Amino acid sequence: MKVIELIRLGLIPHLNSWQKITCSQHQFVDNIIEKLDIESLKNRYFDNLSGGEQQRVLIAKALVQQPKLLILDEPTNHLDVHYQHQILSLLNQLDVTVLMTVHDLNLASQYCELLLLLKKGELVGFGAPDQVLTQSRVQNTFALPVRMGTNPMTDAKHVFYSWNDNAQQEANKQC
């Protein structure tokens, strides 16, 4: 299936049986495609795309559905740094509640209003990033030496990690 066809499938909840896509719906789809910078993918086949390209196309399809709640599992997986920030920034601009899993604490700190931090399936923190991402909590959760700072470009809390032999010994103790 071509990318444009796959993205247009997101319009199905907004169509009656056998109804054709309207000009305004075509424009809406084109706007989403433009916002996600995937115009060059429109006429390619989905199964020939890279993992990151597929991820962006699937997010476009989801956005075309105009959801009020968007549940995403690692939406930045397989994306390079540019597209990670592009996707999360776009999600922040939408009038949509987003519930997502993300393993990059610095992306979570910068883009999320609330964080839920888990360790082995158990809740260890819930709240605003500044409240949840404390040095001791992050260090205990991930068994790594951690230092906290501030991203000078965004003022968001920033987690700095290190790996050394002591970290390995600590990780082994906690397993």
Tell me the three-class secondary structure of 22-74, residue by residue: CHHHHHHHHHHHHHCCCHHHCCCEHHHCCHHHHHHHHHHHHHHCCCCEEEEEC
Look-up: residue for tokens 């066809």?
Answer: 5
- Confidence class for position 174, pLDDT limits 50, 70, 90: low
Backbone angles phi, psi at 98, to 5 degrees: -115, 125
| CA dihedral (141, 145, 150, 151) positive or negative | negative
Q: Biggest alpha carbon distance in the chain?
A: 64
pTM of the model: 0.77
pLDDT digits (tens, 9 = 90+) for 68-113: 999 999 999 888 999 899 889 988 888 889 999 999 999 999 999 9
- DSSP letter for 152, please: T
What's the confidence (pLDDT) of residue 131?
96
Half-sphere exposure (Cβ direction) of 44: Cα atoms closer than 13 Å: 12
Say if CB 119 and CB 112 are below 8 A apart: no
Domain ranges within the chain, ordered by starting residue: 1-102, 104-175
Could you tell me the CA-to-CA distances from 114 to 43, 93, 96, 167 in Å, in that order?
38, 16, 14, 28
Weakest-pLDDT range from 12-16, 17-21, 150-154, 171-175: 171-175
Sequence-distant (6+) residues with CB within 8 A of 155 are: none
> Which architecture characterizes domain 1-102 according to CATH?
3-Layer(aba) Sandwich (3.40)
